[in-house]
Structures are given as structure tokens and as C-alpha cells.
Amino acid sequence: MRIGVVNDSILAREALKRVIEASEDHDVAWTAADGFRAIELARTDRPDLILMDLIMPGINGVETTRRITAETNCPILIVTATVRKTVGMVYEAMGYGALDAVDTPVLGARGEIDGARPLLTKIDTIARLVGASLKGSASRHLLESRSFDEGFEATNEAFDFDFVLIGASTGGPNAIATILERFPRDWRGCTVVVQHVDLAFAPGLARWLADRSGREVKLIERGDLPRAGATLLAGTNDHLVVTSSGRFAYEAEPQSVYYRPSVDVFFASAAASRMKPGAAAILTGMGADGARGLLELKKKGWRTFAQNKESSIIWGMPRAATELGAAETVASLEEIAAAIVAGFSR
């Protein structure tokens, strides 16, 4: 991959350059010391990936991410001094299209670099994601009939409340929050969200969505049951499924699917479950994950939605769902939320 580096620190830029150049698979396309220069370079020489700092003079990494994504759709990985101290900005940047975040490697006094491996792991994962998005859905074979029982005891839960299932990726946090904040406060429906995000960021994402939407957002744990009025978020790198007992579980396989947790896997398991047919939506994201799962839900009587191109950060996943005929309605986030609420109010 050709990689652009954006960081106002000379030492940080040097550390990042050394990490990239030490890999046979990656090269440095260019470096920029501020957001303005990065926007200009991304426009004239679009790399395969940009490593973006957050705290910079002029315009910060969040705004720089927003502008570059809007203009070029270039994949962006946030690389900042301390992810934990800038967690709010991390989720803002993810809402504008950043794919993930990692701490900046540190260049030692003797030239050694601490933190290179986590960065290279993230870069390699994104490289596979970009490749998979160009080839389409990587999870077609997952939608065959499967029994997710996980050894749980049977439950007599009727699940007679309404369900809303949401899948998202690039730009998803803001899109999800926009929909959640428009749901009624006293609504008894159960909302389940699958967002492509590293497990290290899932707890923070739940808190961030709760702050943005004014709703409690709970991470799903293995064995949990759907609950009326709950907003639930997939919380690991494994694939969320609904088991034959009606409980939630996580499956590591197939490892070959780079979109984790997979929206396709969850939607397909929900279509085969005892969940009462409700509404399901595919929001902004790179690739095609979720399209085939959404089609399975549609076949089972669920109302299905896809975010429109105009309001999407990246119209990849919604486009795939639309072209497959899986989405009954293609609309803006506000229109999707209103249609979901109206459908359950009848």
C-alpha cells in the first residue's frame, strides 16, 4: 500500500516512516505536518491509506478526516499519541469515515521503535478490508442454513416486542446516533446494532452513542437475551449471532471474513431465529457486508432499509443491498428513522 502520513511532530513522522518502510508490502507516499497540507496532497496524490494524527495546529485530525473522506473516500487510520486520552475525538473521526485508531509508535533514543507491531497489524487488516471491498461480499457462504445453539438451555421467551436491527461500518457511529436519537424515549422496541469496530473501542463506542442519542447503550454479552426497550451493541471482534435458544452468542469462525463483527452473519442468524419480524437497516460503510443478510430478513417478512448515497460517508454496503434488491426503502437517516417508528406505530 502507498501510505500518506499526517502528523505535526517531526519525531512521530520519522517513527511512522520507519515502520512503513520496514515492511515489504508498504511505501510512504508523502508526509504532511498539518491538515491543510494533507488535504491538498490527498486531492492531488491519493494514497491507498492515510495515517492521521488528531491534535494538530490549524485544523485538527477530525476535520481533516471529514474533508478528505468527503473529497476522496481515501481510507484513514487514526494514529495518535494516546488513543485513550482522545477517545471522544476518535469516535468523531470514525463518524466521518476513519476506519480504526491506534497509538503512535515511539522513536527511542537509540533509534528503536516501540509500538510498531500494533500499527502494522492495523494497516494489514485495512489492506485486506480494502481488497475485500473491491471483490464484494466475503461472506456469501455464511448464509447457508446453520444452527447456532452454543449449548444454551431452551427459553420460553416470546419476543413479542418490536425489533430493529442496524448494520454499519465506515462513518457508522454518527449515522447510528442520528437514528437512535429519533426513536421515542418510551419505545418498547429492542434495537440491536452491529458496527465494524475493534473490540478495544466497543465499550467507548457504547458510551459515545449513549451520550449522543440520550439512550442507554449496552454491550451484548454471550448468553444475553433480547429485552424490550433495550439498545444493544455487538461488543467483540467475533461475529454476533442469535442462537436457536433465542440468546445472543459470538462465533470466531469464519476467520477469513475481515469485516468483524459481520453484519451478514448476524442478519442471517436473526432471519433464522424466533425474533418477531421487524425492521432492519444497512447504513454507510465500505464493502458489501450485510446485503445478503438483509435479503434473508426481507424474505422472512422484515421491513428493510438502506441509507441513500447522498447521506452516506461511503455508499458501499447500502449500495450492495440496493443492487441486490434487499432494501425495500432507500432513504436518508432521518427518513429511515421516521419510517421505522411509523411502521411500529400502526
Cell representation of residue 19: 515502520
Rg (C-alpha) for the chain, rounded Å, is 20
**Beta strands of the chain (E only): which ranges?**
2-6, 27-32, 49-52, 76-80, 100-103, 106-107, 113-114, 163-168, 190-195, 217-219, 231-233, 239-242, 248-251, 279-282, 303-307, 329-331
114 is catalytic: no
CA distance 241 to 261: 10
Pairing label, strands 76-80, 100-103: parallel
Residue tagged 510498531 (cell numbers)? 116
Angle formed by the axes of helices 61-72 and 87-95, to 10°?
Answer: 10
Pairing label, strands 106-107, 113-114: antiparallel
CA distance 129 to 339: 32
169 is catalytic: yes
27 is catalytic: no
Write the DSSP assignment of 158-217 as a string of letters. Answer: ---S-EEEEEE-TTHHHHHHHHHTTS-TT---EEEEEE---GGGHHHHHHHHHHHHSS-E
Cell representation of residue 71: 473529497
Residue 12: alpha-carbon gap to chain centroid: 27
**Inter-residue contact 240 to 234 (CB < 8 Å):** yes
**Beta strands of 19-133 (E only): which ranges?**
27-32, 49-52, 76-80, 100-103, 106-107, 113-114
Residue tagged 491507498 (cell numbers)? 48
Catalytic residue (choose from 26, 53, 137, 196): 196
Catalytic residue (choose from 169, 213, 245, 273): 169
Pairing label, strands 239-242, 248-251: antiparallel
Catalytic residue (choose from 137, 289, 311, 312): 289
Catalytic residues: 169, 196, 289
